Chains A and B, each alone.
Chain A
């Protein structure tokens, strides 16, 4: 069974703090993703990584950075948290699919509900 774990289920931080969200997967997947999910807006991709030290911006990368030093671990960093970053953050992983337009099944972690005060 694929397992994706996230470091915290709930997190409360203050405006301006640096926030680290960590994600670990145990299936040797090449791809890892960070999404945020807000009511009425659905899942929005923040960043995507397809290999160690490789990353691509998603739809809403502003205010976020990522780090992937090991294949199984993908971190999301909020350099200076703001109240508009209060959200549910979801990490996912999948196998790499070659051929251009494919995308394999994604396996999600339980999510981190971040509140920025």
Chain B
């Protein structure tokens, strides 16, 4: 069956360090992958989209990689700040305009 896996344990990281999150998937062949940020009690907000022919995508302090051979995407927050504390979700298209979301990985940036 199709599965998207993100680490269920929160990532606690010191301010200024790089946070790295992993999204692994099975039984999908996505042409692209998306990352969203979700703050407590709010809806997810789109951050980045990376296509299968792009090895890396950057937006300000965010960097995403996409390895279709490993079936994995890595999401990096460089020079992390307390305001980066949130849950980050990866999402894959799975047919007819639908997205399948991972359960998310919480990041806590410690000042």
Interface residues, chain A, CB within 8 Å of chain B?
Answer: 4, 31, 33, 40-43, 45, 48, 50, 56, 58, 88, 90, 92, 94, 96-97, 100-111, 113
Contact = CB atoms under 8 A, between A and B. Distances in A.
Most buried by A among B30, B46, B49: B46
A101 B95 contact: yes
Contacts of B104: 42
Contacts of B30: 101
Given A102-B93, A103-B94, 11 more contacts: A4-B43, A43-B44, A48-B96, A88-B41, A90-B43, A90-B44, A96-B97, A97-B93, A100-B96, A101-B29, A113-B41
B98 A103 contact: yes
Given A101-B31, A101-B93, A102-B31, A45 B98 contact: yes
Contact of A48 (B29, B41, B45, B98): B98
Closest 6 CB pairs of A and B: A108-B43, A103-B93, A42-B103, A43-B101, A105-B46, A103-B99
A71 to B, nearest CB: 15
A56 B96 CA distance: 10
Interface of B: 8, 29-31, 34, 41-46, 49, 89, 91, 93-99, 101-104
Contacts, number: 66
A111 B43 contact: yes
Contact of B43 (A96, A104, A110): A110
27 contacts: A4-B43, A31-B97, A40-B103, A42-B101, A42-B102, A42-B104, A43-B89, A45-B98, A48-B98, A56-B96, A58-B98, A88-B41, A90-B44, A100-B95, A100-B96, A101-B31, A101-B95, A102-B97, A103-B95, A103-B99, A105-B46, A106-B46, A107-B46, A108-B43, A108-B44, A108-B45, A110-B42
A88 B41 CA distance: 8
Nearest to B30: A101
B97 A103 contact: yes
Contacts of A103: 93-95, 97-99
Contact of A105 (B8, B31, B34): B34
